[in-house]
Structure 1
Amino acid sequence: MVDQRQQNERSQVTPEIERRCFIQAGLASAGTVLATSVLPSQIVSAAVPPQMTNSGANQIPRRPLAKTGEQVSIIGVGGYHLGSVKSSDLAVRLVQEAVDAGVNFFDNAWEYNDHRSEEWMGLGLQGRRDKVFLMSKVCTHGRDKKVAMQQLEDSLKRLGTDHLDLWQIHEVIYENDPDLHFAKGGVVEALDEAKKQGKVRFVGFTGHKSPAIHLKMLAHDYPFDTVQMPLNCFDATYRSFEQQVLPELQRRGIAALGMKSLGGDGQPIQYGVVRAEEALRYAMSLPVATTICGIDSLDVLHQNVEIARGFKPMSPQEMQALRERCRPASGDGHLELFKTTKKYDGSVGREQHGYPTIAELPL
């Protein structure tokens, strides 16, 4: 298992070699290992976030989506939570109020909530599609291009649109995922075909489990426009996407999309480790284009909109102080269950990889 190797084989490498590890396929296949955890004093501060525009009074600031020429709101609406609210009426209202408040980045995935997430978001975007940057994800989990192209048609129909602004490979979390995705006839070929057909403008990939797997994807040198990953004030000291992946995205000019700013399910907020405003402000202070938020109520939407409207980036000193404060509660990864457990692993992906579903696992 990669996690066990990470614990047992702490590589001693120079900063330049560490930066380049997994970028060359030869190094990746040789099993170069990244450190699982680091001390706060070892953390290298990330570069300053991109310049914001549209930052007047009562406006949600926007940032460039790297080299695409697009500007996206510094917070985005996550599709998963949208499909889990109590009714389609509430979901539609959440979408409409978010758009009207100035949020223009919308996230979704083909498999979320038995497709309700896309269907309900599509209802909410009726009459507002031209005001948003719409993303969904393809969920082949190793299946071929034909499956991917059918999923694209499904997503377009549910979302009520003739194109996606961004189409990402969903949940790249298993060690063999990069090889499956880049295999002949695999999902990466579908990305190319969808762009050629004009049904997709930009492409990327997502994952929440391991920075090493993200770097294996990047080692293929495919021209991704975006990469989505967990970025929060707990991440930096354990199997860190901020420390290991974010610098490589900056080097390549790929837009970083942050998620799980509250630790995945808000557990650190419930335990009093950090306040929601602090956690979200930290995530938005990183060099990301947007931070995608799970929004399942009008109260949460209004809170996030107000935080975004009043956002001022943390200084490096503030960020370091918050990491130091969080480390006793986060240094072993137990506040990021998406990294350390199977709780957040999608059932479709587990099934396609031949693993038991979460419900079938022993307690």
Structure 2
Amino acid sequence: MPDIPLKPFGKTGVKISALGLGGHHLGSACDETAAIEIVKEALEGGITFFDNCWEYHRGKSEHWMGKALKGARDKVFLMTKVCTHGRSKAVAMGMLEDSLRRLQTDHLDIWQIHEVVYFNDPDLIFAPGGAAEALLEAKQQGKVRFIGFTGHKDPSIHLKMLEHDFPFDTVQMPLNCFDGTFRSFEKQVLPEAIRRGVAVLGMKSLGGSGEMVTSGTITAEEGLRYAMSLPVATTISGIDSLGVLHQNLEIARNFKPMTEVEMEALRQRCHQFAADGRYEKFKTTKFYDGDVGREQHGYPSAKELPL
């Protein structure tokens, strides 16, 4: 059985699995036992990159992943995210301790600022005493190896973050065959991150919840192959069941990069559906924005806010 390909993690000399396991969907597994089984089978199947976040399912995702990785911490590249959403360095450092405890580890491989999706977020993050200072302090303390940020809303916000010339090691963004022609992170942010030597982590390869596939517009194989063919360190995939895990492992093990001709043909095939954002609602609505960030920016929760 072929292995999952390994890719270079930026300029660090580290290699990680081309397919990563997403923490948010893990928290949507039917129960803790199922989540632990998903993580263990993912590890056995060759996935080494594990994504998570302080706020996912109110800490449940980190807690379940921590239990699943007990005794196997040295075999994985572990990432989680901090959710200050404009609050102080002190809040960030407290969240770091929460995450380390839940994940049952004394350090993270990557610690990222989560969900930079509001246009004033960069100003808040880089304000004196803000989250950017927490990243540097945590790295200096040895509690995190690498630091970065994530977001899914608008390429211009990512570019504003990068313009600060902060020593980010990573940046996470939505990369898929619909994004290629609509408010495109692939066209606007990916080249700039590569120019700066920042490792790129791709996400939402199938739309965040598989909408691109369930609509019949593309297949899971087309979506994952496209995303994995981009110059990224890994493609983080939302996996909430063993069925989805086995499907994605099979695609990753048999992965052959698309040619540019194939990628352009797929972009053009999806173009008319991409143009109105119907399958990338994380860009066009607040439906995918987390409640913690909404609260800090004065918006109602997901339950109160319609699409």
Corresponding position: 1:308 with 2:242: no
In the alignment of these two chains, the number of paired residues is 307
Residue 236 of structure 1 deviates from its aligned partner by 1.1
User: Residue 15 of structure 1 aligns with which residue?
Assistant: none
User: Residue 317 of structure 1 aligns with which residue?
Assistant: 261
User: Residue 52 of structure 2 aligns with which residue?
Assistant: 108
Distance 2:58 2:306 in 1: 24
**Larger Rg belongs to:** 1
User: Residue 47 of structure 1 aligns with which residue?
Assistant: none
SS in 2 for 1:342: coil
Distance 1:83 1:353 in 2: 25
- Aligned counterparts, 1:186-201, within 5 A: 186-201=130-145
In structure 2, the CA distance between the partners of 1:320 and 1:190, relative to structure 1 (3 Å rule), is same
- Aligned counterparts, 1:74-153, within 5 A: 74-153=18-97
- Aligned counterparts, 1:344-359, within 5 A: 344-359=288-303
Distance 2:44 2:278 in 1: 37
Distance 1:88 1:361 in 2: 29
Match of 1:218 among 148, 152, 162: 162
Match of 1:234 among 175, 178, 181: 178
Per-residue CA deviations over 1:246-298 (Å, capped at 9, x if unaligned) read 01011111111000000111112111110000000000000000000000000
User: Residue 260 of structure 1 aligns with which residue?
Assistant: 204
User: Residue 154 of structure 1 aligns with which residue?
Assistant: 98
Q: Which amino acid aligns with 1:103?
A: I
Q: Which amino acid aligns with 2:137?
A: E
SS in 1 for 2:109: strand
In structure 2, the CA distance between the partners of 1:204 and 1:320, relative to structure 1 (3 Å rule), is same
Distance 1:285 1:143 in 2: 37
Distance 1:266 1:122 in 2: 26
Q: Which amino acid aligns with 1:301?
A: L
Q: Which amino acid aligns with 1:307?
A: I
Q: Which amino acid aligns with 1:185?
A: G
User: Residue 171 of structure 1 aligns with which residue?
Assistant: 115
Distance 1:268 1:360 in 2: 26
Residue 361 of structure 1 deviates from its aligned partner by 2.5
Per-residue CA deviations over 1:92-127 (Å, capped at 9, x if unaligned) read 000011011110000000000010000000010011
Distance 1:362 1:191 in 2: 34
SS in 2 for 1:358: coil
SS in 1 for 2:240: coil
SS in 1 for 2:70: coil
Distance 2:52 2:305 in 1: 27
Distance 1:213 1:178 in 2: 7
User: Residue 29 of structure 1 aligns with which residue?
Assistant: none
Q: Which amino acid aligns with 2:49?
A: F
Query: How much identity, in percent, do the aligned residues show?
Result: 68
In structure 2, the CA distance between the partners of 1:84 and 1:253, relative to structure 1 (3 Å rule), is same
Q: Which amino acid aligns with 1:125?
A: L
SS in 2 for 1:355: coil
Distance 1:268 1:138 in 2: 29
Distance 1:197 1:268 in 2: 42
Residue 356 of structure 1 deviates from its aligned partner by 1.5
Q: List gaps (5 residues or longer) in structure 1.
A: 1-56
Per-residue CA deviations over 1:155-208 (Å, capped at 9, x if unaligned) read 000000000000000000000000000000000000011011100000000000
SS in 1 for 2:303: helix
Distance 1:337 1:282 in 2: 20
Corresponding position: 1:184 with 2:128: yes
Q: Which amino acid aligns with 1:338?
A: F
TM-score, L = length of structure 2? 0.99
Q: Which amino acid aligns with 1:199?
A: K
Distance 2:270 2:306 in 1: 31
Distance 2:85 2:42 in 1: 31
Residue 360 of structure 1 deviates from its aligned partner by 2.1
SS in 1 for 2:11: helix
Corresponding position: 1:205 with 2:205: no
SS in 1 for 2:202: strand
